[in-house]
Every structure is written in C-alpha cells, then in structure tokens.
Amino acid sequence: MNWTAGGAVRVRVPASSANLGPGFDCLGLALQLYDEVTVEVADSGLAIEVAGAGAAEVPRDESHLVVRSFRIGAERLGGQPPGIRLSARNAIPHGRGLGSSAAAVIAGLIAARGLHPEGVSLLPDDDLLALAADLEGHPDNVAACLLGGLTIAWTEDDAARAVRLAPHDDVSVTLLVPRGALSTRAARGLLPSRVPHAEAARTAGRAALLVHALTAEPGLLLPATDDWLHQGYREPAMPETAELIARLRARRIAAVVSGAGPSVAAFTDLDLAADVPQGWTLHRLAVDIAGAAEIGLSTPPRRRLRR
C-alpha cells in the first residue's frame, strides 16, 4: 500500500482487570483509565516519545510493544510505512495486573488499521482480536480492552473469540495498586499443571454466577468472586496482596487479584482510603463501556462502528 507521509491517528485504550476471581483467562472488565497513543507516518526512521507510566523503563526502539504490534498489523494490511513517529501518554501502571501490555497491543493494531484506507474491512474486530490474543498470549485482557464492558473470551479453531456484555449500572471498581510490579510470566509459573476436580468444579460454578452478578445482581458479587483455581497458588509471590484481599473479604467486600496481580480489585462503593497499604495507590474507576477508540487529533473522542 502507499503510506502518506504526515498521516496520523490517535488511539485511546482502556485498562482492564481480568480473571475477576474465578473467571481465569476468560473474563475481563474494561476500566476508565486510559493510555493514548499517536502514530504518524514519517518519511523514514523511527521516533518514540513516552510520558507517564513506564516512561523510564520502556524501550525506544523496534522492541517497543506498540511499535511491534503496529508492525504486525501493517504487515497484515500489506506492508510497512517508510517511517513512524510514535507518541504515547500512559496512565495504566505497568506490571500491576491492569492490562498494560494488552492495551499496547491493541493500540498498535488499531493505529495500523486506522492509517489504512481500507483498514476496518481488511482487519475487522474479530480478526484484530485473534491477532492481538496471539501477540498477548491469552485473550481476556485484549478482549476487554478492544470491546469494552464485561467480556467473555475463549479460543475456538485456534483463534480467540469474545462476546461483550453490559455490566450492571451499579458495578464499579476500586483498585489498590502496589508500588512493585509482578510479571505475568512469573505469576503463571506458580500455577500447577493439574488441580483437583472438586476445586475446578466449584470455580466453574462461581464463574457462571459471576457473570450473573456483574450484569444483573451485584449483591451476589462476594460469593461470585470466590476462586480455587489460581489466586491461592500465587499468594507466595504477593503476600501483601493476599493479606489485603483476606482483610477486605472478611468485611464482606468482594476483593480479588486483578489479572496476574499484584493489584487488588474491589467491587465496592465504600471509601477504602484507610485500607491502602503504605506505598500503594487507590483508584476508584467506573467501567469503560466503549472499548478502544480512535480519537480525532483535535476533536472529541468518537466511537468506532461495531457490527
């Protein structure tokens, strides 16, 4: 394809909390905390500017995750532009279980699609989701980031798929975010290859209940967020997280590990400021219902058309 120098696109991508207790690797919830990425076609080379979360750590070369994802999306669409200028303003903390890598992957793919005159028809949401899940390694966060709301993701015929559900109006999340990070790979490394059938069955039942609680009856969120599949196995890597969750649940607050951790997601409207451990931060967030979106460079955000 012919890339036009000076063509630019800005993308806004939400944070996400996955698993939500029993919904391991399948449930995700998009949250109103956003990264914004602007990609411009240049005559040559690669220039990267990053501000906000992770700015001191992320690379400024082809290994930058947004750039890598953009390149893969561009290749799927027919080829690479002569050069790229990338500017990122990050609000999603890195390595805290809030979908920062999923947001980067989705941002890069949507930016590539947005700069192609036939991008939406050549890379529709279903195909973009499958490509993003391949890059991320699992579909839960990328599904929530792309589609917004509450998502259920699965893999069929070696491709990720997802459906979006509308959360109940009373559902909001208080995030308690520690100073230290934990890699998803390290957290997954603590999981056993097999679990007892009884624990798997109990968790499956609670996952089904959780979908109902999040969409129709939030009063059931405490029992619906019980989990026997992954959180207990990960406690050695995040003891402060486990202790905080135990304290909150003892007060009948539906608190869970957000994604792979170590952040805590609590479904409550209560003020948890007194519960924040030293060095942690607190964010009270509504659910994002729009998902990833292209934003006009000088106009208010607009929603993407969905099929």
- Tens digits of per-residue pLDDT, 105-146? 999 999 999 998 888 999 999 999 999 999 999 999 999 999
pTM of model > 0.85: yes
Q: Predicted confidence band at 306 (pLDDT cuts at 50, 70, 90)?
A: very low
What percentage of residues in the chain have a pLDDT greater than 70?
A: 95
- With a CB cutoff of 8 Å and minimum separation 6, the contacts of 197 are none
The predicted model gives 54-62 an average pLDDT of: 95
Rg (the chain; Cα; Å): 19
Q: Which two tokens stand for residue 140?
A: 């839960």
Using 50, 70 and 90 to split pLDDT, how confident is the model at 163? very high
pLDDT tens per residue across span 68-82: 999 999 999 999 999
- Whether the predicted pLDDT of 303 surpasses 60: no
Q: What is the mean pLDDT of residues 224-249?
A: 96
Fold of 8-164+288-295: Ribosomal Protein S5; domain 2 (3.30.230)
15-24, 110-119, 199-208: least confident range: 110-119
pLDDT at 31 over 80: yes
Considering the segment(s) 172-286 as one domain, its CATH architecture is: 2-Layer Sandwich (3.30)
Structure tokens at 73: 């999306």
Q: Which residues contact 113 (CB under 8 A, 6 or more apart)?
A: 73, 77, 119, 120, 122, 123, 128
Q: Is 234's pLDDT higher than 60?
A: yes
CB of 154 closer than 8 Å to CB of 162: yes
Handedness of CA 307, 15, 98, 21 (dihedral sign): negative
What is the model's pLDDT at position 2?
Answer: 66
Question: Which pLDDT score is estimated for 1?
Answer: 58
* Domain boundaries defined on the chain: 8-164+288-295, 172-286
pLDDT, tens only, 79-92 = 999 999 999 999 99
CA–CA separation, 1 and 5 (whole Å): 13
Give the residue with greater pLDDT, 2 vs 20.
20
pLDDT of residue 297: 74
What does the mean pLDDT of the chain come to? 93
Token output for 100: 């920062």
pLDDT at residue 299, rounded to an integer: 40
pLDDT of 8 strictly over 70? yes
Q: Rounded to an integer, what distance in angstroms lies between the CA atom of residue 73 and that of residue 110?
A: 8
Residue 301 binned pLDDT confidence (cut-offs 50, 70, 90): very low
